[in-house]
Structure 1
C-alpha cells in the first residue's frame, strides 16, 4: 500500500490519551479488523512510516510488535511487515473512503480538536429555520420525484437563465447534494479503465468517486489563474477522456479563478473533441467582490453544471443539482431512481423558498467569509510568517505552502496539538502539493485565532526536524496512492 494512502487511512490516530505506540497500534488494529488493511498487505518499513507520522522510530516498532504479538502482523527479516493472513476471512471487501475529509466526519472527533479539514458553514442562516416552519405541502402529491420537485427545477432553471444560460426545467436534475450529482455523472459516463481529466489539486470528494469507478486519472496542474488550459486541451486531444472535471471559480482548494477567455477556450476544445465537461459550480456564489460574477462555463457551449446550496446555506440541507442537455438529465433521473426514488421533498420545498430570495442570503454568507478570510490571513502572517498564504477572491479556503517539510507529516503533528488540517498531497493526483495545506476560514474569529496558535505550536515542534531532514521524496503518484 502506498505510504500516503496508509497515512490517510490512519487518520486521527494520535488524538487520544496514552502512549503514542498504543494509540498507533489501536488504529492499525481497527483497520485490520474492519478489512481496510487486507491480509498480506505489506506495511512500510519502521523508519519510513515514522518519518511520515512525525514520530520516533521506536513508536512504530513498538506498535508493530504489539500487533505481532496479537497475531495481526507478521514481521520477518528480509520480507518486511505484513498483515497476517489469518487476521480476516479471505473474501473480497468493498473499498471504502480513506479520504481525511470524510473520515473526519465519519469518526468521532474529540471535543478539543479544531476541525480545519472540512470546509462547510458551521451555522445555517435564520432563513432556513423560518422556511421549514412555514413550508406547506400540496394535496394529492405522492412525494416521489426522482428528477426533482417541479417548482424547484423551474427555480434552478430560472437562475441559469438570469446568468445568460437559457435553461428549461427538463434540463435540471435535483440531487441529494452535489456529491450525489458527481456520483451519478461518474456512474453514467465513466467505465473502468476510462480516462478522466481532472485538476491537480482538486476537490478530494471527486477523486474518491473516480477511484471507485476505476478510472485512469489525467491530472492537469492548477496555477494562480486556474487550470492550465493549454495542457488540458492537449490531454483531451491525446487521450479523448470520458470526462473532464474542473472547478473554474474559487477553485477548491487553491481559490483560483479561470479567466473568461481561458474558460471559453476550454469549453470549445471539449465540445470539439466530444469530451463531456463538468463545471463544479458549488463555490461559484462565494465571491468576495461586489462586481458582476464571471459567467459560468455553460455560457460558452455544452457544459454539464453541478451546483448545490451546501456552501451558501448549510451542508445539512442536502440539495444539489445537475444542469445539462435534457436527454442526459433523463438518463440521470432513471439512474437516480434506482438508488433513492428522489431527494427529500420537504428539503426541496425549503430550497425553493430560499432560492426565491437568495441574494441577501448569499450576501450575508460572503460577508462572513470575507471577514474570516482576512482574519485567518492576518493571524497566519503574525504567527507563521514563513508560510506562504496568497489571498483568495472568494470561496472558503486558503492554500498554504510550507517553507519546507511535508504536509502529510506536519498534519500528524498538528493533530497532536489539537487541530485537524487537510494535507495538499491528499488532493493532488500529480503527486505534487506535498508542502501544501488547505485551511478553511468558516469558524468564528476566536476559534480561528486558537487554531493558528496551535498550528504555530505544532510548527515549532516540527520545523527543526523537517529542516534537518530536507524534503521527503515523493514517488510519482497513482490515483490509488493519492486519492485519500
Structure 2
C-alpha cells in the first residue's frame, strides 16, 4: 500500500490528545483490527509515510514499533513492514472505504471541521413540512409505500421546480433518490461498464469520483467547465461512456459556467450520444447581489441529465435527491434501484414535496448571510496569510485556496494538529493535480471563522511558511 493511500485511510488520525506516535499507532491498530488492513498487507517505509503525514520519521518508527510489540505488524530488515499473518488468497473480504467517509467520522471537540459543507441545523420550515407530511400519512389507507421511482407528489414537485426554471418537465421524467450521492451511484451503474471512460472536471466533487471508481471507471480529467470537451469527442478512439460536471457554483472553485458554454456542451454531448450529468446540488446557493445563474444544461438539450438534492440548500440530514432526465433513463434507474431498495423514505419525500416550492425563497433569505461569511473568512485569511491565493466565489459553500509552496496533503496534517480539518486538493483531482490547493467551507459563524484563520496562520508558520503581520482592523469613521 502506498503512503498516499494509507494517509487517506488514516483520516484525521492526529486530532486527539497525546504524543503523535501513540495517536498514529491507535489509528493503525483500528484499521488492522477492523480488517481494513488485512494480514499480509505491506505498509509504506518509515520515511515515505512520514512525508505523507507531515511528521518526523521518528513518529512513524515509534508507532510501527508499538504495533510490532503488540504483534499486529511484522518488521524485517530487507523485506519491509507488513500486517501480521499470512496474506489471504482470493478476493479481499474488505472494500476500500472512500476517502470522504473519513471526513464524516466523529472528531475531537476542539477540532474545527471545514471539510464537509452543509447546513448544520434544520430550518424551522423543515419541521413544519414534516408536521404536514405526518398529517398526510394519517389519512393513507391504500398505499403500500413502495415507490421505486419516488413518491408521485415529490416527482410532481420536482417537475414543477424545473418547469419554473425554464425546463418543461413532467413527473415521468423525474426519479427520486436518497440524496445526491445515491443519484450519482445509480447513474454510474446505469451507464458505466468496467474500464469505461468517464470525463470529469479537475478538480471536482470527490464523492462523484468515488462513485465512478466504485464501478471501475477510467477517469479522464478536463479543466473546470469540461474545457476541451468538444475536441475530446472528436479524438479517435473509444467514446466516453459518461461526462460529469458541476456547472453552477462549481465544487470546489465556485465557478459558474456561462450560458453559451452550456449550450455548446449540451449540443456536443447530444451529437456524440454521450450522457452528460449536470450536478445541480449547489445551484440554488447564489450570493445576494450576484446575477442569477443560467438555466440548467437540460434547457439546452434533452439528453442532458440533471441531478440535485436538498442537502445543501435545506439540511444535510434530509436525504432526498432526484434525477431529471428522459423517461427511458428514469425507467432504467428505477429498475436498478428496485434490486436493492423498493422505495425511499416515504415521510421524508412527503416533507420534501412540501419544502421544494419554497426552497428558492429560503436560499434567497440566507444568501446575504452566506455572502457575509464568505467575505469574512476571505478577509481574515488575507490579513493573516497574504501569500495565499483565495479567489472570490459568486455562490456555493467553499473557497479554493492555493498555497504558495508545499502541498495540501502535508499541510492538512499540520493544520489538523492546530485544530482545523481541511480538505487537500489532491483528493478532488482525478488527474493527480491540485496538490497545491486546499478546500475550506465558510458556513460557520463569524467568530469561528476568525478562529479558523488564526489557527491556519499558526499552522502555516509551523509548516514553514511566512504569515502576515496581525494587523488590527481599522476603526470605523464617525459620520
1:84 paired with 2:78, answer: no
Residues in 2 aligned to 1:217 and 1:236: alpha-carbon distance in whole angstroms: 16
Counting matched residue pairs gives 460
Between 135-144 and 231-240, the greater mean CA deviation after superposition = 231-240
Cα deviation code 1:77-130 (max 9, x no counterpart): 33222223348797622314241x32121x221111111000111122211112
1:109 to 100, 107, 112: 107
SS of 2:32's equivalent in the other structure is helix
Determine if contact 1:184/1:335 at 8 Å carries over to the other structure. yes
Unaligned stretches of 5+ in structure 2? Answer: 467-479
1:256 paired with 2:255, answer: yes
TM-score, scaled relative to structure 2: 0.92
Counterpart of 1:478 in structure 2 is none
Residues in 1 aligned to 2:366 and 2:94: alpha-carbon distance in whole angstroms: 39
Residues in 1 aligned to 2:425 and 2:182: alpha-carbon distance in whole angstroms: 24
Cα deviation code 1:140-162 (max 9, x no counterpart): 22222211111111111111112
The alpha carbon displacement at 1:16 in A equals 1.6
1:191 paired with 2:193, answer: yes
The alpha carbon displacement at 1:391 in A equals 0.2
The alpha carbon displacement at 1:420 in A equals 0.6
The alpha carbon displacement at 1:204 in A equals 0.7
Residues in 1 aligned to 2:437 and 2:329: alpha-carbon distance in whole angstroms: 37
- CA change 1:236–1:424 in 2 (3 A) is farther
Counterpart of 1:143 in structure 2 is 145
Provide the alpha-carbon RMSD of the alignment: 1.9
Residues in 1 aligned to 2:360 and 2:204: alpha-carbon distance in whole angstroms: 28
Residues in 1 aligned to 2:83 and 2:458: alpha-carbon distance in whole angstroms: 35
Counterpart of 2:324 in structure 1 is 323
1:339-358 counterparts in 2 under 5 A?
339-358=340-359
The alpha carbon displacement at 1:356 in A equals 2.4
The alpha carbon displacement at 1:28 in A equals 1.1
Cα deviation code 1:263-289 (max 9, x no counterpart): 222111111111111110111111114
SS of 2:339's equivalent in the other structure is helix
Determine if contact 1:233/1:269 at 8 Å carries over to the other structure. no
Counterpart of 1:337 in structure 2 is 338
- CA change 1:290–1:429 in 2 (3 A) is closer
1:59-458 counterparts in 2 under 5 A?
59-86=59-86, 92-99=92-99, 101-105=100-104, 107-135=105-133, 136-137=135-136, 138-140=139-141, 141-222=143-224, 226-230=225-229, 233-234=232-233, 238-288=237-287, 289-301=289-301, 302-458=303-459
The alpha carbon displacement at 1:231 in A equals 6.8
- CA change 1:427–1:367 in 2 (3 A) is same
TM-score, scaled relative to structure 1: 0.91
SS of 2:434's equivalent in the other structure is coil
Residues in 1 aligned to 2:245 and 2:334: alpha-carbon distance in whole angstroms: 23
Residues in 1 aligned to 2:277 and 2:262: alpha-carbon distance in whole angstroms: 12
Determine if contact 1:229/1:266 at 8 Å carries over to the other structure. no
Unaligned stretches of 5+ in structure 1? Answer: 466-484
Residues in 1 aligned to 2:371 and 2:344: alpha-carbon distance in whole angstroms: 32
- CA change 1:405–1:295 in 2 (3 A) is same
Determine if contact 1:237/1:273 at 8 Å carries over to the other structure. no
